[in-house]
Amino acid sequence: MAASGDFAEPRRLGVLDGLRGLAVLLVLWYHVWEISFLPAPVSWLQFVPETGFIGVTLFFYLSGFVIAYPFIRHWLAGGPPQRWGEFAWRRFIKIMPSYSLFIVIAYAIGFAQKQPGASAPVDIVTHLLFVHTWFAQTYGTISGVLWTLGVEVEFYIVFPLVWWCFRRNPWFTTAGAVLIAVAWRAWLAHCCIHTSFGEYSENLPGYLDIFLFGAISAYCYVRFRPFRWRGGGIASALVSIAGAAWLVWLLQSLYAYRLYDLWSNVWQIDRRPLLGAAFSVLALGFLWAPRWWQWLLDNPPLRFLATISYNLYLYHQMLARELLAWRIPPYIPPAQYDPVWQPQFTAVAFSATIVQATIVTYVFERPLLRVRLPWSRPRDNETTPGIKPDAGRKRT
């Protein structure tokens, strides 16, 4: 889900990297916890692993932000516009090679064939076309985590239309996306609560609000960040704390629903926009805060996790389930009742998937990301007056 990012972006924002690193940690913890059932270190943190799937929602928010950000920066700050051909190429070269490699490996080790309802020709075609989320028989095939790539790519496809609307009125466009998403989820709950509600509420229409919260956050960051007042940095840090507290409260509210049928989907019917708003408050608070405060997110460990996050996301569930199938570390069934095996498995799964993602990222993904279209122009900070060529990564 780091697919929306680009390591070569000269003016990427470290705070967003930190949030991406936290998002992938949440998802990793959640899927490993689904296997091991290892309790959180302290009981009052148990809501974190059990609601870790919200890391995917945070990924979508970040996608909306970083995809819209260069367009908004050109629109409001007068930088050179990004060409649609270059936009499409950067999305393609980031997603498709690693995605295709993962599918090949999933079939090579026999993982894809073991998924419920597996049918190789149909599964491969629908996944390569990114339409697998629209069919019940292919929604979770090959690997369950791939549904998010379908949602992500579909947003890329509709983004030109979204941008056309957004440029004319950012606030009305965001409000319209929220209304569409809430209406979509509510309609599905009304018509299909016991059939296809769970799957179809997780398709693109159900996440338009989150993507647009990211876009409107990018707009606010570019539009209002020149505004400074005495003590504004400290106030922004306090805003980020408020956003973090709001997000924790929402996750605890979600956790309280865990005993209900379809609990995560039902809770999000009308509350998903609150997650988008909490992400916005948290992100903008950090982006406007002093550099010493941003370090809480913009630090080397989280930046590293952000760099490998796409491959970490792709492989983590498959690798964890293969470790369980191969009894690494060894156990006597049922493993989940073994208090010695639980932390051992969690440590091995975390370590193995981080090592694997690091290798794939640096050996396969990053060299390909350096491939540029012959007609692509220099990066925007190479041509925009007043922007130093090295002013990107550390700027706030």
The answer to whether 123 touches 141, Cβ cutoff 8 Å, is: yes
Structure confidence at residue 293 (pLDDT): 95
> What tokens does 100 get?
């295709």
User: Which element (helix H / strand E) includes 254?
Assistant: helix 232-255
What is the model's pLDDT at position 374? 61
pLDDT at 92: 95
d(CA 341, CA 279): 35
d(CA 343, CA 349): 10
Do residues 20 and 309 lie in contact, with contact meaning Cβ atoms separated by under 8 Å?
yes
CB 258 within 8 A of CB 54: no
What residues have CB less than 8 Å from 213, skipping those under 6 apart? 61, 64, 174, 273, 276, 277, 279, 280
pLDDT of residue 2: 41
- Output the pLDDT for position 233: 84
Global pTM reads 0.91
Q: What single-letter amino acid sits at 389?
A: P
Distances from the Cα of 12 to the Cα of 4, 151, 302, 396, angstroms: 12, 23, 14, 10
For the chain, 396 residues long, the average pLDDT of each consecutive 10-residue run is 39 90 98 97 96 98 96 84 87 96 98 94 97 95 97 97 97 98 97 92 97 97 74 88 98 96 95 98 96 96 98 98 96 92 98 98 95 62 36 35
